[in-house]
Structure 1
Amino acid sequence: MTHLFSPISLGQLHLKNRIVIAPMCQYSARDGQATSWHQMHLGHLALSGAGLLFIEATAVEERGRISTGDLGLYSDATEKALADVLAAVRAHSPMPIAIQLAHAGRKASTRVPWEGGQPVPASAGGWIGSAPSALPFNDDGEAPEALDKAGLRRVRDAFVATAKRAARIGINAFELHAAHGYLLHQFLSPLSNRREDEYGGSLENRMRFPLEVFDAVRAAVPDQPFGVRVSATDWVDGGWDLEQTVVFAQALKERGCDFIDVSSGGLSSQQKITVGPGYQVPFAARIRTETGMPTMAVGLITEPEQAESIIASGQADMVALARGMLYDPRWPWHAAATLGAQVDAPPQYLRSQPREFKHLFKRE
């Protein structure tokens, strides 16, 4: 058996292989509610043969959405809409489904990407974001509201409430979004967190609120696999970096975190990223080595042999694909064919395997 197609367990959840479909925002919800687009999008990805499917970043409160098209899980209406989508998907796929709990913070209230992605000010129908400090994402942007103690409690409780809703509709695993410049990452980075209370200043203080949110959600879903997505570096001098990320990951491990999903960037428009195949994999490898936690590697992982090498060499325990999976929704099938492995497929598709790969599909 190849390393990529070997099983792995996250807490009590057993995955058939180490290919993860990463969270990918679709900006296609209505008032936070999942639509027929989500049913189609998640439905075909759930037939891909991957080991785990993440729903896109899901806002824990209305003002925590990136755009008006963001998926949410913060009301009875949003819960029912997502439950209906998942019921349709699960009728035809046994693939485990995970959710990424998210809050946009100061990056909230923007247009959807295909309309330019620019901020929408409150005066034009947008809303004021929440952040650790009243610092806009861009110099010409609208300043967010700095969260006071009541605001911190509100946001923490919103994460917990969303986790409970997700558990009710049968989500199999959870991930806290502390990356890509969104709210929890904003608390971690000294570039966006200029607070002078116990939630700002030192590394210990900057980690305090994300760890409080983690602890609260962990208590709400104590038996479910629960991990965190991090940006290992801001790619800006004086910002959040890999050394601080390792300290944060160790603190999460001590609190019962099951995995770390390792990305980077997104906090500052001043970031300078050197991009190349697997450019973020060394971050996952460093965290894995220093903490012993299972890691997911992401970022320009496109070839089956590349993914196999990442797992075989111990740089990461799983690989998570996003854009590559949108481009090729049957990437796990093709990877299995290339590596001589087997993959799950629905019975309706069993006749599709090419003659030279007649043993590609598993028969349960």
Structure 2
Amino acid sequence: MTKSSDRYARWFGTRVPLVSRGGIALLTFLTALPYSVVLYFIFEFTIITSNWITALFITLNVGFIIHILILLLLKIRFNNPSTNSEFNALVGQVYQKVVLPSRAHIWTRQSEESFIATSFNPLFDAVIVSEPMVDLILKTPGSGEALLAFHLLRVPRTRWIADLFGSLILFLIFTYPSSLLLVPFTITIAQSIMIGYFYTIMYALSTFASFFMVPIILVLLLKGTFWRHDLAFDGIQEIYGIHPNVAKVHIERGYPLTEDEAQTVVWGVRDWEKRRRGSRRVGVSTLAAIGSFLLGYIPLFLLLGGGYYPYSPYLYFFLYLPYIFALVGILISYLLLRRWDKNAMGEVFKKTTDYDEPIWVD
């Protein structure tokens, strides 16, 4: 594996980044930037005032069209069914043993590296296998069949709908701040450069950088919020009696792993999942804190909505109520999720005997 390929696996969770959620999100961001310029010159700041309905309707439609175009280009690029009869026969054995979504396809791709990746979206569901990986799978058909079945089982039947809405929301998140802040700020900087106000430029840049640290921190905190345990592992364990990661290592090495080696592989995946569960707890707790903070303003607005309110020591309590709500929201959500994770991992431990819940990185 090359260093760039290893970086793709770390950053995007796959060696085919274009079909990953992170890759599609990056393409969405790159298309949202030029659209935000157009949106600003058409509506300027009225996208959140008088023209907010029109701007929102247009943006959602543009986001939907761009998302479908991105997926269509990806489908054209990666659509390549295998012509290897032996490999197709192995895929047929998988379909005989496992109930799979009708939309799922297996495509092959020319590459110097061995990889297998799964992609599911509104336009296509596919398992992409490199030609070197096809050769390795055929050398170890038992583990190869289990690995193919695992990736096919990962394809959900309805989750693409949530992915579509998520992509539209992401397009809005990219477009609106860029149109309201980035575009006018860039115009101001360009004008200042033409005039020659150096100190004004430096002050504006420092203020702008500080302001945008908040959403960057939020994105980092919320990164693992929507992760969830892949139930495909349980199905493969029941049908084939092998951990998918052990099967993959067996395929790549060409000979079976010893019991200690298999246990080492599984425990490595287990530790990685613990970190993922920790990231999810942080993300959910952050969302709970934001929601609780906003909820804490409701009694404050109800109290002060009538106008003048005489001074009282209890007024300080209401002023700090949003922060109290946020702290309570963080604690409750974090502790509940921590308990939930322990119970869930304990149940899987009983089912799999020394194997903990896995998370897959292809």
TM tier, smaller: under 0.3
Query: Highest Rg: 1 or 2?
Result: 2
TM-score by length of 2: 0.24
More helix by share: 2
